[in-house]
Structures are given as structure tokens and as C-alpha cells.
């Protein structure tokens, strides 16, 4: 047992970071078997309440832990993740386990090989203890489906942990896993981290291209690509995991530059911008406060931080939706060919099967009924395959505009940008039927391809769980429902950097994390 923890229960091990656990096991202060048993016990205690782990691998994990202990006893060299338990988003392939994407029709689809990034961590002696829940077809910002059921947020089981890496976020927050892998094409790593009070990083597009079967089918040649990224409770674990994951070069694209070293970044030499409102979904008070407080933490570390207005994020949202739904979202429709759409997808699925002319008429009806948020998003649906080249050119033009705006910020070029990850804290279950994107806060960086991470900063104060103004718009009504009763929920801040500058984002996140942890309102242990 750990020095100074002799009188603690095994659950103490589930509060430690992956980096700390690896160091303790390497020194022989604890065994891999102890660590894996402690995390299995924690999962068995919390999973009945949150339903985050949906594929168990406990027996195999214990056998691998005993083998790891035997290797150490023989004096063999120890890889960097020796004995560290990890979990995986259900869509990532692991031999002899299902990758269903939450669709019952795929329940018998057992992987024959490991996902490339999963294999990288396994080769470093990480021990996979299970796989975590996702939304149906990985599409919406909750983690529920007809096969595995609904995952609850460990801070409030009446709320979602987000999606599509929501099961991973919930389990890590609850202490069931110190480190996990998820994927991100529209905030799927960052929203769950923000909702659950943990950290995550979406790498630059194509640094960790998602080669999983569903993502490859859907987005291999698209201008918006899915990536694999780490989730943990400590920023140092994100850095370690990203370094060990490495890069699997795309066979048809140039190899990305090497990953930089966050420890070599002098944050006091950085210039950073921040914004709190995307012009689409007004932020909850705690969300805006967290960004401003994070800016102050960085100023205290010597960084120059200015308030900055990004290029039109309404345009970013429109381009993102148009690119992913052009040609009637044919890939999603094909994926759901043998499964009934979940309630959160019903409207989108119906619209995807309609002609552009029908969508335009429906949009007019919504505008007449004063449903302007839905009407705005429908302006971005109904594009065809013939529109994709033009949309791709428009996306590239927006990327140039965004980079130019960073280059010509007041006082000089920006190294990164702080913002909310979402307009609000965690949503009540079912809210993603109305809150389809949650604004452009996270999806803009999928459109741009920039690396972006989330780090926890604070929790909602009682006086911030206020009621938004009354509105006939169903999206505004859903946002109002989010804020009611949100006191105590975790709030994170998103940190984005320029392409291939993951080390800059991680260095900034580390400074924010270290400062935030000194405060009484830092989100540490959920109520579950």
C-alpha cells in the first residue's frame, strides 16, 4: 500500500492519476493486482447508479495484472503504463468485444483486431478493464441507446454525462477508471469532460485519425474528420496518453509533425484570447465566469490574455451542419437501416429522408411558430452531394479567416483561445432532442481542425442556477430547464491552440488546473 496511506481503504487508489499509479507500481509500492481490483470494486459500487461501463473485462484484466506483477518480480523492464487500468469508448475495437455504436443489430459484431491506438496503449502494458456507453450511432450529446440503456451523470443522475464519449466521462469522474480513450467529431470528448468535471483533449485533425469502422465509413475523405483522444482527471495523464498513442499516419496524407513537449512551453510568453458567447446560445452565468476566472489564472502566471471576438460562429455552425448532413446524411441513414432511431434522433432522421424542398417548407412553418433556433439550424439541412465541393471551399475560406483573425488580434498574434465548451452545465436527460448542437463552442474546432481540450475549473453556485427569460422557442425552453437546479454541477473551460500545437494547449490547461485545484469550488468528487 502507498506510503502514508496504510490505513486507507483500497478506494484510495481510485482517486489517483494514471501517471501517479504507474510511478507507484514501477517502484513496487503497490501491485497491479491491487490497482485493478480497486477499480473493479469501484465500478461495481457506482455502475448500478450511472450505467457507464457496458462491456466488462474483469477476469481478463485480473489475469493481465497478475502477469504484470510477475514481470516486475522477475526484474523485467516495465513499460510506461505498467499495470495501469484503462477503459475505452464502446466504438473502439478491442479483440473479442462488441463495437455496436449502441445499435442492437450489431450486438454480435465482435472485433477481430484491436483499434490501432488501443493497441499502442496495450503495448505499453495498460490493462483494459472494460468499454463504456455511447449514444446510438454516436450522433447526439447524450449516452443512451436501446442496447445498453442510459448513462447517468455521477454529479446528478437526473442529468446526462454528454456524448458521444459520455460513458467514458462518467466512469472516469466517478473513479472507475483513471484514463480512457474516446473519439470526437463534434465535441464528443470535450462536452462529456465539461459535463462530468474531468479533462480531455481533442488532437489536431489527422494527428490521431479515427480508424474505427464506423468513422472510416462515414468521414474518411470528408473535410471534418473524427479523431481519437484521451480523457482523464489530470492533464498530465492526457499528455502521457497522447505521447504513447503516437500517430498512425493516414495512407493518403502527409505525416503530421512530431508532438511537442508541454513542459517546454513558457506560458508567461504566450498571448491568449478569450470569448464567452458564440452569438448562438447565451452562456449560463457559471460558464461565463469560469472562462473569465481561467483568464485571470493565466494572467497571474504571466500570460497576456485579451478578450477577443472570433469570426462569425453562426457561419461556423452552418458550415459544420451542412457538411455533415449533405446528401441526406446517407451514412447515418445506412447505419440505422436495421435499428429504430432513438427519440433524440427521431426528428433528425425524419428530416434526413426528406427532399430539400420539404425541409425548406418545414423551416418556414417553424419560423411562423416562432421556433427560430430550429429554423436557423434547418437552414443548414437539405444540401446534396453536388454541394459538397462548394461547402468544402467555404470551410477552407472560414479556416483562413479564423487564422487571420488570430494573427491580427489586438497587441499581436494569439497562441490560443479560451472559451466555454458548451453554453451550459450538464443537461437533463432528453434535452438533446432540442439542444442539437449546444451552440458552436466546440464544433468550431472540428470545422477548423484545431486541437482543443477541456479542463475543470469550478462548480455552479446557488445564485447562478438562475432562470432564463421566458420564451416560446423550444430550444430556449430547454436551455431554461438546464439552468434550473444546476447548482453544484461542474464547469470546465475549453482551451484551443493552433494546428499541431497540442503541447501549447496542454501547457495552458496545466496552469489552469493547478490554480483551480487550490480553490474550494474545484470539482473533485461527484456525489455518486
Q: Which positions are annotated as active-site residues?
A: 89, 164, 188
**Nearest in space to 328 (alpha carbons), one of 357, 289, 361, 296:** 357
DSSP-derived secondary structure letter, 435: -
SS (H, E, C) 382-418: CCCHHHHHHHHHHHHHHHHHHHHHHHCCCCCCCCEEE
Cβ atoms of residues 316 and 398 within 8 Å: yes
CA distance 419 to 517: 19
SS (H, E, C) 107-157: CCCEECCCCHHHHHHHHCCCEEEEEECCCHHHCCCCCEECCCEECCECCEC
C-alpha grid cell, residue 304? 497576456
CA distance 177 to 127: 11
Instruction: Tell me the CA distances in angstroms from 200 to 144, 196, 273, 494, 505, one per residue in order.
Output: 21, 11, 20, 10, 11
CA distance 358 to 346: 16
**Nearest in space to 424 (alpha carbons), one of 446, 402, 442:** 442
Beta strands, E only, 237-383 = 271-274, 304-307
Cβ atoms of residues 196 and 175 within 8 Å: no
Cβ atoms of residues 221 and 170 within 8 Å: no
Cβ atoms of residues 322 and 391 within 8 Å: yes
C-alpha grid cell, residue 169? 466521462
- CA dihedral sign, ordered 323, 326, 329, 331: negative
Beta pairing, strands 271-274 & 304-307: parallel
Cβ contacts of 384 within 8 Å, gap of 6 or more: 326, 327, 328, 356
**Nearest in space to 319 (alpha carbons), one of 499, 445, 482, 431:** 445
Instruction: Tell me the CA distances in angstroms from 82 to 39, 239, 325, one per residue in order.
Output: 15, 17, 43
Vertex 322: Cα angle to 317 and 325 (nearest 5): 120
Residue with cell 446560445: 281
Amino acid at each position: 500500500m502507498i506510503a502514508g496511506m496504510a490505513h486507507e481503504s483500497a478506494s484510495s487508489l481510485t482517486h489517483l492519476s494514471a501517471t501517479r499509479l504507474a510511478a507507484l507500481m514501477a517502484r513496487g509500492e503497490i501491485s497491479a493486482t491491487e490497482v485493478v481490483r480497486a477499480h473493479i470494486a469501484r465500478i461495481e459500487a457506482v455502475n448500478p447508479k450511472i450505467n457507464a461501463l457496458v462491456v466488462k473485462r474483469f477476469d481478463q484484466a485480473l489475469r493481465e495484472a497478475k502477469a504484470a506483477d510477475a514481470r516486475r518480480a522477475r526484474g523485467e523492464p516495465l513499460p510506461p503504463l505498467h499495470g495501469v487500468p484503462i477503459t475505452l469508448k464502446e466504438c473502439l475495437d478491442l479483440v473479442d468485444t462488441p463495437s455496436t455504436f449502441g445499435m442492437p443489430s450489431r450486438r454480435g459484431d465482435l472485433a477481430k483486431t484491436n483499434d490501432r491506438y488501443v493497441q499502442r496503449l496495450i503495448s505499453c502494458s495498460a490493462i483494459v478493464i472494460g468499454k463504456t456507453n455511447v449514444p446510438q450511432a454516436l450522433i447526439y450529446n447524450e449516452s443512451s441507446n436501446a442496447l445498453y440503456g442510459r448513462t447517468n451523470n455521477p454529479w446528478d443522475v437526473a442529468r446526462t454525462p454528454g456524448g458521444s464519449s459520455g460513458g467514458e466521462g462518467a466512469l472516469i469522474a466517478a473513479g472507475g477508471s483513471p484514463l480512457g480513450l474516446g473519439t470526437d467529431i463534434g465535441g464528443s470528448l470535450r462536452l462529456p469532460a465539461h459535463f462530468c468535471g474531468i479533462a480531455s483533449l481533442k488532437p489536431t485533425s489527422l494527428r490521431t485519425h479515427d480508424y474505427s469502422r464506423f468513422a472510416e465509413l462515414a468521414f474518411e475523405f470528408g473535410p471534418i474528420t473524427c479523431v481519437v483522444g484521451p480523457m482523464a482527471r489530470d492533464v498530465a495523464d492526457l499528455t502521457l496518453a497522447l505521447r504513447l498513442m503516437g500517430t498512425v499516419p493516414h495512407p493518403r496524407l502527409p505525416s503530421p509533425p512530431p508532438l511537442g513537449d508541454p513542459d517546454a512551453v513558457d506560458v508567461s510568453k504566450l498571448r491568449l484570447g478569450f470569448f464567452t458567447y458564440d452569438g448562438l446560445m447565451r452562456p449560463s452565468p457559471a460558464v461565463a465566469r469560469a472562462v473569465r476566472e481561467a483568464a485571470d489564472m493565466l494572467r497571474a502566471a504571466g500570460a497576456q490574455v485579451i478578450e477577443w471576438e472570433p469570426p462569425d460562429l453562426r457561419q461556423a455552425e452552418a458550415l459544420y451542419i451542412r457538411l455533415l448532413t449533405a446528401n441526406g446524411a446517407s451514412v447515418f441513414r445506412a447505419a440505422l437501416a436495421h435499428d429504430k432511431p432513438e427519440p433524440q434522433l427521431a426528428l433528425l432522421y425524419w428530416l434526413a429522408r426528406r427532399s430539400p424542398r420539404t425541409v425548406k417548407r418545414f423551416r418556414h412553418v417553424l419560423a411562423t411558430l416562432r421556433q427560430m433556433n430550429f429554423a436557423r439550424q434547418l437552414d443548414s439541412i437539405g444540401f446534396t452531394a453536388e454541394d459538397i465541393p462548394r461547402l468544402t471551399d467555404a470551410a477552407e475560406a472560414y479556416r483562413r479567416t479564423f487564422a487571420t483573425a488570430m494573427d491580427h488580434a489586438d497587441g499581436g498574434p494569439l497562441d490560443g483561445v479560451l472559451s466555454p465548451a458548451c453554453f451550459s452545465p450538464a443537461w437533463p436527460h432528453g434535452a438533446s432532442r432540442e439542444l442539437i448542437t449546444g451552440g458552436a463552442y466546440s464544433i468550431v474546432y472540428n470545422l477548423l481542425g484545431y486541437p482543443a481540450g477541456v479542463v475543470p475549473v469550478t462548480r455552479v453556485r446557488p445564485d447562478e442556477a438562475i432562470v432564463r427569460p421566458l420564451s416560446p422557442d423550444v430550444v430556449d425552453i430547454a436551455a431554461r430547464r438546464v439552468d434550473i437546479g444546476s447548482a453544484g454541477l461542474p464547469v470546465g473551460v475549453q482551451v484551443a491552440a493552433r494546428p499541431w500545437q497540442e503541447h501549447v494547449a496542454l501547457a495552458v490547461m496545466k496552469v489552469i488546473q493547478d490554480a483551480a485545484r487550490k480553490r474550494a469550488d474545484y470539482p473533485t468528487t461527484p456525489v455518486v
